[in-house]
């Protein structure tokens, strides 16, 4: 089944790219790990978990509680929607943030005023009142096993409870949630959802977005993993649209021969797992 979420951004969102420190670049669109994490945060609260869980067995590690629910979702993707008054463009921006750093200095340097502050560029996407669609493919068997017989009600409630995408300041208002049956489709289809590059053999065509913006670009997201202290591997995704200004468009793709894909509304979405 497909979980479809329509969210309205307050001002935009900020989701930092992997391995950032002083230069905090951000993604142009929410990655799968962020989408799944936003939904499962409420599931974790319903089940009484905190921010961290201790996994035992073959591995003895700390993890985000999302690790307990991630196998429910076979895919997670997103695209920018048109608003009622027309298309909205997102703008990538890096604000200069002032940090206190004296506590990281050696004791004999902490009183030096010149070493008290530092500045860091903090990346974000500005799109006030913009709409974004999240599409997730759900495995019903795992959902029932983990959440129980009322899993459909539980997962819809969790989706409506999403309050932010990315940083806690990236506030969203959930306008609509639906859980729909999907139809398996051929490996050649049109979609506004981004896809892992490893699953796509060809981008056959791209329909122009408003303002004659079109094309595709590559974002390198994390692989879906929520273990603490384990550096996640990166994976390249093909994103249909323009990186800056940020807008989504429709692309026609052909998948590798052994890939599965399903119809979600007017778009196709492959299985990422």
Query: Which two structure tokens, joined as six digits, stand for 54?
Result: 């201790």
Question: Residues 234-261: pLDDT tens digits?
Answer: 899 999 999 989 999 999 999 999 999 9
Question: What domains can you pick out in the chain, each with its CATH number?
Answer: 2-270 (3.30.70.3120)
Q: How far apart are CA 166 and CA 35, in angstroms?
A: 8
pLDDT at 179 over 80: yes
Q: How far apart are CA 8 and CA 171, in angstroms?
A: 9
pTM value > 0.85: yes
Would you list the DSSP string of 99-116? Answer: EE-GGGS-GGGTT-GGGS
Question: Residues 138-164: pLDDT tens digits?
Answer: 999 999 999 999 999 999 999 999 999
Assign 161 to helix, strand or coil. coil
């Amino acid at each position: 089944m497909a979980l479809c979420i329509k969210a309205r951004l307050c001002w935009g969102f900020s989701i930092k790219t992997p391995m950032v420190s002083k230069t905090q670049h951000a993604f142009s669109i929410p990655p799968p790990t962020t989408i799944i994490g936003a939904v499962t945060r409420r599931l974790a609260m319903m089940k009484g978990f905190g921010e961290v869980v201790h996994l035992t067995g073959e591995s003895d590690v700390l993890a985000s509680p999302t690790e307990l629910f991630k196998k429910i979702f076979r895919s997670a993707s997103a695209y920018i929607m048109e608003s009622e008054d027309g298309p909205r463009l997102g703008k990538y921006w890096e604000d200069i943030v002032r940090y206190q750093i004296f506590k990281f200095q050696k004791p004999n340097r902490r009183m030096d005023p010149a070493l008290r502050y530092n500045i860091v560029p903090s990346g974000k996407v500005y799109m006030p009142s913009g709409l974004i669609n999240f599409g997730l493919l759900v495995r019903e068997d795992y959902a029932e096993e983990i959440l129980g017989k009322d899993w459909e009600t539980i997962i819809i409630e969790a989706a409506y409870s999403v309050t932010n995408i990315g940083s806690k300041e990236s506030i969203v208002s959930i306008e609509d949630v639906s859980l729909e049956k999907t139809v398996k489709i051929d490996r050649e289809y049109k979609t506004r959802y981004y896809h892992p590059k490893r699953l796509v053999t060809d981008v056959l065509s791209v329909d122009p977005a408003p303002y004659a913006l079109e094309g595709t670009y590559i974002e390198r997201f994390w692989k879906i993993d929520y273990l603490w202290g384990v550096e996640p591997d990166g994976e390249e995704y093909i994103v249909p649209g323009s990186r800056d200004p940020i807008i989504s468009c429709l692309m026609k793709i052909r998948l590798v021969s052994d890939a599965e894909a399903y119809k979600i509304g007017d778009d196709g979405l492959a299985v990422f797992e």
